[in-house]
Amino acid sequence: MCMEFVNLPLLAVSGLVFVSVLVGLFSARIGFSFLLVFLFAGILAGEDGPGGVRFDDYRLSFWVGNLALAVILLDGGLRTAFATFRTGLRPASLLASVGVVVCAGITAVAGVVFVGLDWPTAFLLGAIVGSTDAAAVFALLTRSGVVLNERVAATLEIESGVNDPMAVYLTLAFIAVIGAYGAQDAPWATVAWSFLQQFGWGAVVGVAGGWAMALLLPRLVSRDAGGGVLALLVGAGGLAIFAAAGLLGGSGFLAVYLFGLILANRAVDAVAPILIVMDGYAWLAQAGMFLLLGLLVTPSTMLDYTVPGLAVAATLILVARPLAVWMCLWPFRFTRNETWYIAWVGLRGAVPIVLALFPLMAGTPQAAELFNIAFLVVVASLLLQGSTIGWMARRLGVAIPEASDEQEHRAVFRDFELASSTPIGAVCEFYSLPAPDAADA
What number of other Cβ atoms are within 10 A of residue 106's Cβ? Answer: 19
Distance between CA atoms of residues 398 and 13, nearest Å: 40
Identify whether the C-beta of residue 410 lies closer than 8 Å to the C-beta of residue 427.
Answer: no
Residue 183 is predicted with a pLDDT of 45
Distance between CA atoms of residues 307 and 311, nearest Å: 6
Per-residue pLDDT tens digits for 304-348:
899 999 999 999 999 999 999 999 999 998 999 999 999 998 888
Residue 173 is predicted with a pLDDT of 80
Predicted confidence (pLDDT) at residue 100 exceeds the cutoff of 50: yes
Please provide the average confidence, as pLDDT, over all residues in the chain: 82
Residue 415 pLDDT level (bands cut at 50, 70, 90)? very low
Residue 4 pLDDT level (bands cut at 50, 70, 90)? low
Residue 433 is predicted with a pLDDT of 63
Residue 411 is predicted with a pLDDT of 46
Residue 427 is predicted with a pLDDT of 62
Residue 6 is predicted with a pLDDT of 72
Per-residue pLDDT tens digits for 254-265:
899 899 999 999
Residue 279 is predicted with a pLDDT of 84
- pTM (predicted TM-score): 0.79
Identify whether the C-beta of residue 386 lies closer than 8 Å to the C-beta of residue 361.
Answer: no
Identify whether the C-beta of residue 347 lies closer than 8 Å to the C-beta of residue 279.
Answer: no
Residues 410-422, mean pLDDT to the nearest whole number: 52
Instruction: Specify the amino acid at residue 69.
Output: L
Residues 402-425, mean pLDDT to the nearest whole number: 52
Per-residue pLDDT tens digits for 193-243:
777 888 889 999 999 999 999 999 988 876 656 678 889 999 999 999 999
Residue 412 pLDDT level (bands cut at 50, 70, 90)? very low
Per-residue pLDDT tens digits for 272-297:
889 888 988 888 888 888 888 888 88
The domain 59-399: what is its CATH number? Answer: 1.20.1530.20
Residue 414 is predicted with a pLDDT of 44
Residue 404 is predicted with a pLDDT of 47
Residue percentage of the chain with pLDDT more than 70: 81
Distance between CA atoms of residues 2 and 22, nearest Å: 31
Among 321, 342, 317, 339, CA closest to 330: 339
Range in 146-160, 313-327, 397-411 with the lowest mean pLDDT:
397-411
Residue 148 is predicted with a pLDDT of 83
Cα-only R_g, the chain: 23
